[in-house]
Chain A
Amino acid sequence: MSGHLDGNSLAGPLSGTFRFDPTVAVGLCDTCGDARPLAASPVYGSAMGQIVRCARCDSVLLTHVQTPAGTYLSTQGLTWLRFASEADPRVTS
C-alpha cells in the first residue's frame, strides 16, 4: 500500500454518513487504549473507501466502504467514538 493520509481527509468521504463532522470525534482504540481525534489518525484510502488505523498500534479502527447496495461503516476496532456536544463546526464563524 502506498503512502497514507491523515484523518483530516475523512471529512469529505464521511460527510454523507455522519450528521456532524466526524473528524473531530475522539476514538478509543479497543486494542491499545489510545484516544485521539480521527483527524489525527492515519487513513489508507482506495476507490472503494477508507480504512482508519490506530496511530499508536496500527490496529484497524474504522472501515468505510461505499457500494451500490449502500454504505458500510464498520467500527470494529473502536471501543467508542466521542462526539463533542458543541455546535456543528463546519458552519461558518
Chain B
Amino acid sequence: MARGTVRPLVVENTAAIRGDTVARPVATWLPATITAAVPLTERSRSLRLVVPGWRGNVPGQHVDIRLTAPDGYQAVRSYSLATSGPGEHIELAIDRLPDGEVSPYLVDVAEVGDKVEVRGPLGGWFVWRPGDPRPVQMIAGGSGVVPFVAMIRAREAAPAGNPFRLLYSVRSPAAAMYRDYLEHSPVGTTVNWIYTRNPPPGSSRPAGRLTSIDLDSHVIPVEQDPLTFVCGSTGFAERVSQMLIERGHPASMIRIERYGDSR
C-alpha cells in the first residue's frame, strides 16, 4: 500500500461481508435480565444475568454491556466474565469507579429483574482454553482478578491438569473480590496475596506494591514455560509485564489485559 494514501473501506452492509446468514453474529445486542446481585466488597458486586440466545464462552472473555436511558442516551462498557462454559447464564463482577458513568449504576442501583443489553462473548486473545497443557500464571491487580476467577473455576471443573498459580495484588483483605472463594484453595490453583496498603495481622510481608522480589517468590519460573496472564490497571499491567520481561519471560508468553479510564 502506498505510503500516506488512505483509502478507507466503506462498509455499507456488514452482514453481506460476513456472509453470515445462519449463525447469529457476535455483534448482536441481546436482551438480558439480572437474576442475582451479590456484594463482593464495599465497592463491587457480582451480577448474574440470563441471556436468551447466549452461546457460551471460554474463560477470560468479556462482554459489552449497553444501558439505555429513558431519553434514548446509551452508554457501553466492557466487563470481564467470571464464568465460562455453555448455557445462557453468565456472571459479571463490577468495581465501582469514583467518576464512573455506568459502574455506579450496576453496583448500587440495578436490581434483580432489571434489563440490560449484552454483546459477546468478546475477545479470543486473553483466554485460557481448557486442555491447554501449559502451566498458567495469573497476576491480578485489584478488579483485574475477575477473568482469572473464570479461568480458576474452569480449571477446577477439569478432572486433572496443569498447575495454576494466582498472584493477587490488592489494597487489603477487605478489598479483595472473590476473597472467600480464593481463600478456600480452589482445586488446582495456588493463590498468593500481595497487600499494598493494609495487610492482615500477622502478615510477614510489609505493605507495598508488587515488586520483582514478589515475582521471584511466587511466579512460575521461565524454565517451566508458563503462559502468564496479567490483568489490572494500565500502570500495574505495564509495570508487571516489564518486570516479567526483565526476568526472561518471552513477550509471546505474556498476555495482558488492562483496565483503562473509560471503564
Binding site for B on A (CB under 8 A): 2-9, 11-12, 15-19, 21, 23-24, 30, 37, 39-40, 45, 63, 69-76, 79, 89-93
- In the assembly, what is the distance between CA of A24 and CA of B127, in Å? 11
Using Cβ atoms and an 8 Å threshold, which residues of chain B touch A79? 1
What 0/1 readout, one digit per residue, does chain B (49-73) give for beta carbons within 8 Å of chain A?
0000001111001111000000000
Q: 8 closest pairs, A vs B, by CB? A: A92-B56, A39-B125, A89-B124, A11-B122, A16-B27, A12-B64, A15-B27, A5-B260
B14 A17 Cβ-Cβ under 8 A = yes
- In the assembly, what is the distance between CA of A38 and CA of B25, in Å? 20
B257 A6 Cβ-Cβ under 8 A = yes
How many positions in chain B have a CB within 8 Å of any CB in the partner chain? 53
Chain A, Cβ-Cβ closest to B257: A8
- In the assembly, what is the distance between CA of A37 and CA of B4, in Å? 23
- In the assembly, what is the distance between CA of A73 and CA of B255, in Å? 26
- In the assembly, what is the distance between CA of A39 and CA of B261, in Å? 18
CB distance from A1 to the nearest CB of B (A): 11
- In the assembly, what is the distance between CA of A37 and CA of B254, in Å? 12
Binding site for A on B (CB under 8 A): 1, 3-12, 14, 17-20, 25-27, 55-58, 61-64, 76, 78, 84-86, 119-127, 129-131, 234, 237, 255-258, 260-262
